[in-house]
Amino acid sequence: MSILRRWIKQTKGIGIGAVSIMLVLALVASACAPVAAAPAEKERVVKIGHLTALTGAMASTYVHANHGVTDYIRFVNEHGAGINETLMPKSSRDIVKFFKDEGIKLEVLWEDTQALLPRSLTAHKRFKHAGIVIELNCSSMPTVVLAPTYQRDEIPAVHVAHFLPEMITQPIQWVFAMVAGSGPEGVTFMKWVKDNWTQEHPPKIGYIIFDFSDAWIAVQEGKKHAAQVEIDWVGHEVVPAFGTIDTSVEWLRLAAKEPDAIYVYACGATLTTLVKDAARLGIREKVGILCSTAIGIDEVILRAMGEAAEGWYVIRPHPSTVETDLLGVKFASEVAKKYRGFEPEEVASHYRAGMLFMTLFAEWIKNAIQKVGHDNLTGATVRDAIVTTEGFETELVPPITVTDRWPYIISMGERIYQVREGIIWPVSDWLPFAYHYPELTERR
């Protein structure tokens, strides 16, 4: 009552009628004031980091992998809406059901690093502070440099291509990759040549590489292991990694050593130049077998190469568009049609690879949450889920098993494909990797 008297005293100059009206209005206003709403429940989100390459030298190859990453996460967050369930692999149906039932969203934080080290380091730092629990890295050199950081930050990382010895962390593994290293891949190709060789002399093989760390490792390991797989190593040639406009000298110099096969470690515009120059110089007619690394020839780059790529081989771990007997290939085509408007023949191999990575990421996150709960989810718990992956079936590649000793998504090996009439066809069964890094196989 004292408060009311003070208020009346302060408004003494106002007529008593006006005061009464103001008092009534104040009471009405207070009665009509909205009740504060209860705070909305915070959306549960799990964050994934993606060091991607949408521009720069790797973009022609990697942009479709980026599409596959983005589209699969959208597919999960939309609970598979618009995709025929009979075309979904069981693993993806289970993933969709889990995240729908738990009310959890997946979010991809991405940075166009152009596969450059400074951009990658900055992006990872930003992702870490944003709370990611796992990271996908598009380039080997940033992955190698970041390996100790991934270990210190306790954030597992996956490199999209080859595993390299510098990615090994002790005492447990924090960095993983699609396949064993560039060295094992090249030697596996050489062994395939030897196993299918019909002439009396050992096959003679040389390498052409672009000036890149993975490629140099391939050369070093190729020379080291050639004798073990009964190959006559004739040497190698190097072309610039970027801005390559002519490779005639390198081709002719290597061809003069009369190799029976040449393994080419390059990608993007550099590989296109190599392939077109080889066709112009008639190298395949002289050599016989020309083979690209897994990161090289795919359906997208074939459009730029045209007929020059006819007859080339490529060793790779993921299926081509024509392998429609695999449900995972059909599923990828459906997802690409929904989100990109692509026809099946427009879906590149690297698009399927991007979907494969995110299928695994979602599965690992799901398994970690089932074990420790969403609130206790960390990079360390996701890492533990990675290395306990056993026989995971995507219906796209062989069943996946990952451990600290076998940190490859596809430990089965790779297959040989050949370009025929502009289409990439499988021409071999799965070839086990010729060797693995002893630092991993001897780990206890």
Parse the chain into domains and list their residue ranges.
44-180+321-412, 183-316
Residue 265 φ then ψ, to 5°? -105, 95
- Cα–Cα distance list, 177 to 95, 168, 171, 180, 197 (Å): 22, 11, 18, 7, 31
pTM of the entire predicted model: 0.88
The SS3 of residue 39 is coil
> From CA 430, how far away is CA 444, in angstroms rounded?
28
Structure tokens given for 357: 């990575």
Superfamily of domain 183-316: Response regulator (3.40.50.2300)
Superfamily of domain 44-180+321-412: Response regulator (3.40.50.2300)
- Cα–Cα distance list, 36 to 32, 33, 39, 40, 372 (Å): 12, 9, 9, 12, 35
Assess contact for 271 and 237: CB atoms under 8 A: no
Side-chain-side CA neighbours of residue 416 (13 Å): 23
Q: What residue has token string 């289970």?
A: 94
Q: What residue has token string 């074939």?
A: 302
Per-residue pLDDT of the chain (444 residues; tens, 9 = 90+): 444 344 334 444 444 344 343 333 343 343 334 444 444 456 799 999 999 999 987 787 889 999 999 999 999 999 999 999 999 999 999 999 999 999 999 999 999 999 899 999 999 999 999 999 999 999 999 999 999 999 999 999 999 999 999 999 999 999 999 999 999 999 999 999 999 999 999 999 999 999 988 999 999 999 999 999 999 999 999 999 888 899 999 999 999 999 999 999 998 889 999 999 999 999 999 998 999 999 899 998 999 999 999 999 999 998 999 999 999 999 999 999 999 999 998 999 999 999 999 999 999 999 999 999 999 999 999 999 999 999 999 999 999 999 999 999 998 899 999 999 999 999 999 999 998 887 787 766
For helices 140-153 and 213-225, the axis angle rounded to 10 degrees is 100
Equal CATH topology for 44-180+321-412 and 183-316: yes
Q: Which of these, 69, 157, 57, 143, lies nearest to 350 by C-alpha position? A: 69
From the CB of residue 422, how many other CB atoms can be counted at a distance below 10 Å?
13
